[in-house]
Structure 1
Amino acid sequence: MICKQKPPEALTLTCKTCVTPWHLACLSAPPQTLADAAAWECPDCTFVASDSNPAFPVGSGSSEDLIAAIRAIESDQSLSDKEKARRRQEVMSGSVVKSAAADGVSGKRESNDVLGLLDGSFNCSFCMQLPERPVTTPCGHNFCLKCFQKWTGQGKRTCAICRSTIPSKMASQPRINSALVIAIRMAKMSKSINAGGPPKVYNFVHNQNRPDKAYTTDRAKKSGMANASSGKIFVTVPSDHFGPIPAENDPERNQGVLVGETWVDRMECRQWGAHIPHVAGISGQSDYGAQSVALSGGYQDDEDHGEWFLYTGSGGRDLSGNKRTNKDQSFDQKFEKQNEALRFSCRKGYPVRVVRSHKEKRSSYAPEIGVRYDGIYRIEKCWRKVGIQGYKVCRYLFVRCDNDPAPWTSDDHGDHPRPLPVIKELKDATDVTERKATPSWDYDEEVNCWMWKKPPPESRKLGEEILEDGSTKTVRRRAKSMSVRERLLKEFSCLICRKVMLLPVTTPCAHNFCKVCLESAFAGQTYIRQRTCEGRRTLRAQKNVMKCPSCKNDISDFLQNPQVNRELMSVIESLQEQEQSKEMEDNVESIEETCDADEENIQSGEETSDADEKNVELSEETDDADGKSDGIAVFTEISNKESEILGEDKEGKEVIKTPTTETKSQKSSKRKEPDGGDKISEVKVTQKPDAGVETRSKKPKVGTE
């Protein structure tokens, strides 16, 4: 302003073109009427270009180009007021804006452009770009990490959009919202995939094309078996198969994997399906069970007694830096991942294949060389105890239950149910788990063998199916291909209910939840805890610590007034609307295809019925012609027989006469179809002889006159 003062809003006039407020008292020629005020343009917009042009931002061109660009934006009726304001800001700040006349593309992004949808909703208010390492404030606004740190580094503790107070802990140590990071990355990857480019090269060799032994390629970083690739898998069972490997899954030898079989190393053992992992000692999934274990001297706590042994779980060792092994334990083991898989098999009573390696130096039952398959075991108990190195370890009691004798015995029969051994360390154990239900793999007294007493778990992996010609075919579960929108909606899921968030809120620790789920998780808890000293006097109130459901951070202050992340909610709603519209389009297309197919079937049916009617008419005409000829033949035959009978009367034989009434002579004439088929059609012929003619049938009725 010329007067260097901030006038009240009633004494300001806004330019029509650049939307800049001007002080009425400072104008040399203010508008006289309201109509002039509505169409008024400031002196900058009405400025005529001369040699002494004022300085404009770099990239904006001359004043005439700037005014023309702003007027073009104002005249575009397809843009909303918010979009016009954003484009005017880009023009005034010198940003490169492509006009619709220049590129032939409208300003609106396509509705199916997921990246454009995120770009319009998640833009950082500082740099006006998609957030790089996004940070979400408790009030629900998103910023780049660098922009946010620059803002708070200036000593500002309020949100740049809504001026809400930012917690001091978040201002000093902001957390990156990982859900937004994944969503933005997926949208960018989908755009790059759709745009095209050099395809990625995947080095994959089908099982039938692999050699019989493990091999190394030029891509191997180290020699030997450290970076070797697996050889051909000889058995057709999936990788998550429970129990012994039978003969029907051994197309090479037709005998299955027998107890006592020995292989050179773990890679060859993998090829026969006894133990799939060539490094890990446990093969299993935490929510499915464990299929096999390997005894290879990994832990000093292991105790091997042949028919039963105490097995130590995995974990508790620092394997950072791509280390495969580490003998020193640095933290406690927990029942998670492979350890939980073994406990799952303990509860269900699943059979577990056991292989022993020559690396187990402390066992008398380990093979001298290679890796040996020792049969089926079952986990009877599991617990946790303090190990030799001073940290807790997970322990499992394995008991053998195989139909074949063990490799170290001379018995000619398999195992029988035996009492469990006495384990002394159970006195000081914690988290003891024992099977309460009947086991899935148990001994049958009638058949005298170990077998599945319950149906085995259904495989979740691919396997091989033997065809009639002896070849194999890969059996794979068909996975439903998910679109980019579906994957984004899956990422925008609540960490409590695991569903797409409804009224999403973001905690200061950068975790996303449904507002209802988060509030219900702390329902009934007060923010302040009143304390008394044995009921005599009141102590100072204490704040209740409310930890985040996903971490240990205190979010009690945030829970007092959780704000919905409106930007995230708008993106979720837009994605859901687009997904619903796509489903409706697919349903309409499928209905149209079904209707077209039905119409084609109806037309073909009508054509078939017309042809059948024509065939029926032709057959009726043919039947009529045949009937006439058959009738003539019948009448001729009857006349001849009557003449023969009358001739017999003349010789003095008994004559039987019938009344001279109208009679019907019927005869079944059997003939073949005209097309030479095997069908026999029966035609009934009716003939009316003349009155007064005596007729006789082949079997006349006997009577008296």
Structure 2
Amino acid sequence: MAQLPCDSDGVCMLCKQKPSPSQTLSCRTCATPWHLSCLPSAPLSLSDSHWDCPDCSDTSNHYPVAPTADLVSAVHAIQADTSLTDQEKAKKRQELLAGSSDSSKDKAKTKDIFDGSLNCSICMQLPERPVTTPCGHNLCLRCFEKWVGQGKRTCANCRAQIPAKMASQPRINSQLAMAIRLAKAAKSGEGSSGPPKVYHFVRNQDRPDTAFTTERAKKTGKANACSGKIFVTVPPDHFGPIPSENDPIRNRGVLVGDTWEDRMECRQWGAHLPHVAGIAGQSGYGSQSVALSGGYEDDEDHGEWFLYTGSGGRDLSGNKRTNKLQSFDQKFENMNEALRVSCRKGYPVRVVRSHKEKRSSYAPESGVRYDGVYRIEKCWRKNGTQGCKVCRYLFVRCDNEPAPWTSDEIGDRPRPLPKIDELKGAVDITERKGDPSWDFDVSVVLALLLLIG
């Protein structure tokens, strides 16, 4: 005969009646309530506090022993220990149950990453710079571009239709890239020793201060908003990453992959101070940061390197329709000269990408994201798509932290410069002559490679 307890509503699962409290008995091990009348062998008295239910009793196992028998035995051992108080027994039972549950879940999560369900549908490996189709299948960015380049507009796995917008401009699934990176670190045992590593994801929802509008604001929202409190202590002309010692609130600094709702919040954490301009810097000192926000048609973004167009050359006296056109040549002055100074000196330049960058596969889905430190290797002037000369800059990533779109466990390594075809017709070419002020930390890269290998 089946033996069933009462459910969460207090109704007996055997006779379908709700017994009174005087007809209910709770197990001392699992605290599950049972209907006294439906028990095959009732205790001698209701005051018996050492009663075990049929599921926890050693004498009632009429079926093969389940894997949880060891857990029940451990609970019995805790209950039989007379040196422990009731509170200590309850704490040990909780630790025993919670520990077994958490470890099994962690192992399952790590195993799920490598079971093949997330592999690229074309190369059948873990996707590098993963792109996820609407049907839920994953591909490497390179495999996806090759597949679409062959004129195929269906999923390589299930043949579902790929939207035209995604085929022309795929977006990297940064969350999947982060999950693969975490699984690789857990598999290699990186997290078993040393201090816990902080991974690159933050939503600044518990900010004490936000951007605000005054009574003089003529537009609603943040169009005429004033900046909120700057949370970091670095000066405005600070080059390079923002370390933890300059973050008195979170004590972690600004990490690669940190995301904010808009440019106002990005300013508050010091990654890029101007909330409208794309370049932060001084013509006689250098540039501290740039923002990629879809400003020019001939900009190219390849993740680890990109071609950036300087500022100026537009007549801003008109309206939004007319001031998008180049009306005169750009020159190396003001912000453009600041970028050229950073090119000559090899200064580190912080780079943030905005979701408004519609022509890049490396832009975030929403908000503004900090993507690490880059270095300007070359700059020049050339004729733009609208006929006027524009200042152009070659940015190359040089950061010891992995980029948000990769599943690598280490950051950048020295690489040859890409071939730029437009340099053939360029003028005013500037290249750095000496050693850069910011270079690859080879010792960190070697240490990480030894740890992973």
Q: 2:427 aligns with which of 430, 434, 450?
A: 430
How far apart, in 1, do the equivalents of 2:279 and 2:371 lie? 15
- Counterpart residue type for residue 347 of structure 1: R
* CA deviation vs aligned residue, 1:58-86 (integer Å, no higher than 9, x gap): xxxxxxxxxxxxxxxxxxxxxxxxxxxxx
Aligned pair 1:215/2:212, yes or no? yes
Q: Are 1:265 and 1:370, in contact at CA under 8 Å, matched by a contact in 2?
A: yes
Q: 2:379 aligns with which of 360, 382, 402?
A: 382
Aligned pair 1:310/2:307, yes or no? yes
How far apart, in 2, do the equivalents of 1:417 and 1:291 lie? 22
* CA deviation vs aligned residue, 1:136-179 (integer Å, no higher than 9, x gap): xxxxxxxxxxxxxxxxxxxxxxxxxxxxxxxxxxxxxxxxxxxx
How far apart, in 1, do the equivalents of 2:321 and 2:226 lie? 17
- SS of the residue aligned with 1:427? helix
- SS of the residue aligned with 2:352? strand
Deviation at residue 265 of structure 1 after TM alignment? 0.4
The 1:449–1:215 alpha-carbon spacing in structure 2 relative to 1, beyond 3 Å, is farther
Aligned to 2:392: 395
Q: Are 1:403 and 1:449, in contact at CA under 8 Å, matched by a contact in 2?
A: no
How far apart, in 2, do the equivalents of 1:338 and 1:354 lie? 15
Aligned pair 1:332/2:329, yes or no? yes
Q: Are 1:349 and 1:440, in contact at CA under 8 Å, matched by a contact in 2?
A: yes
Q: Are 1:443 and 1:449, in contact at CA under 8 Å, matched by a contact in 2?
A: no
* CA deviation vs aligned residue, 1:476-501 (integer Å, no higher than 9, x gap): xxxxxxxxxxxxxxxxxxxxxxxxxx
- Runs of 4+ more than 3 Å apart: 321-325, 444-450
Aligned to 2:275: 278
Aligned to 1:257: 254
- Structure 2, gaps ≥5 residues long: 1-206, 448-453
- Structure 1, gaps ≥5 residues long: 1-209, 451-705
Q: Are 1:211 and 1:231, in contact at CA under 8 Å, matched by a contact in 2?
A: no
- Counterpart residue type for residue 440 of structure 1: S
Aligned to 1:370: 367
* Larger relative contact order (Cα-Cα within 8 Å, sequence gap ≥ 6): 2
RMSD: 1.9
Deviation at residue 275 of structure 1 after TM alignment? 0.2
Deviation at residue 410 of structure 1 after TM alignment? 0.1
The 1:404–1:442 alpha-carbon spacing in structure 2 relative to 1, beyond 3 Å, is same
The normalised TM-score by structure 2 is 0.52
Aligned to 2:138: none
Deviation at residue 322 of structure 1 after TM alignment? 9.0
- Counterpart residue type for residue 290 of structure 1: S
How far apart, in 1, do the equivalents of 2:441 and 2:411 lie? 13
* CA deviation vs aligned residue, 1:88-137 (integer Å, no higher than 9, x gap): xxxxxxxxxxxxxxxxxxxxxxxxxxxxxxxxxxxxxxxxxxxxxxxxxx
Q: Are 1:317 and 1:329, in contact at CA under 8 Å, matched by a contact in 2?
A: yes
Deviation at residue 326 of structure 1 after TM alignment? 2.6
Aligned pair 1:343/2:331, yes or no? no
- Counterpart residue type for residue 340 of structure 1: E
- SS of the residue aligned with 1:383? strand
Deviation at residue 320 of structure 1 after TM alignment? 2.2
How far apart, in 2, do the equivalents of 1:357 and 1:262 lie? 10
Q: Are 1:345 and 1:379, in contact at CA under 8 Å, matched by a contact in 2?
A: yes
Q: Are 1:263 and 1:372, in contact at CA under 8 Å, matched by a contact in 2?
A: yes
Q: 1:238 aligns with which of 235, 244, 267?
A: 235
Aligned to 1:613: none
Q: 1:228 aligns with which of 206, 212, 225?
A: 225
* CA deviation vs aligned residue, 1:296-315 (integer Å, no higher than 9, x gap): 00111100000000000000
* Higher Cα Rg, which structure: 1
Identity %, equivalent residues: 82
The 1:323–1:283 alpha-carbon spacing in structure 2 relative to 1, beyond 3 Å, is farther
Alignment of 1:146-157 (within 5 A): none
Structure with greater helix percent: 1
- SS of the residue aligned with 1:409? coil
How far apart, in 2, do the equivalents of 1:366 and 1:445 lie? 28
Count residues in correspondence: 241
* CA deviation vs aligned residue, 1:359-412 (integer Å, no higher than 9, x gap): 000000000100000000000000000000111000000000001000000000
* CA deviation vs aligned residue, 1:583-637 (integer Å, no higher than 9, x gap): xxxxxxxxxxxxxxxxxxxxxxxxxxxxxxxxxxxxxxxxxxxxxxxxxxxxxxx
Aligned to 1:405: 402
- SS of the residue aligned with 1:443? coil
Q: Are 2:400 and 2:444, in contact at CA under 8 Å, matched by a contact in 1?
A: no
The 1:278–1:406 alpha-carbon spacing in structure 2 relative to 1, beyond 3 Å, is same
- Counterpart residue type for residue 376 of structure 1: V
Aligned to 1:289: 286
- SS of the residue aligned with 1:375? strand
* CA deviation vs aligned residue, 1:312-349 (integer Å, no higher than 9, x gap): 00000011269799311100100000000000000000
Q: Are 1:259 and 1:404, in contact at CA under 8 Å, matched by a contact in 2?
A: yes
- SS of the residue aligned with 1:441? coil
* CA deviation vs aligned residue, 1:402-439 (integer Å, no higher than 9, x gap): 01000000000000111000000000000000000110
* CA deviation vs aligned residue, 1:674-698 (integer Å, no higher than 9, x gap): xxxxxxxxxxxxxxxxxxxxxxxxx
Q: Are 2:401 and 2:412, in contact at CA under 8 Å, matched by a contact in 1?
A: yes
Alignment of 1:542-553 (within 5 A): none
- Counterpart residue type for residue 387 of structure 2: G
Deviation at residue 448 of structure 1 after TM alignment? 3.8
Q: Are 2:317 and 2:323, in contact at CA under 8 Å, matched by a contact in 1?
A: no
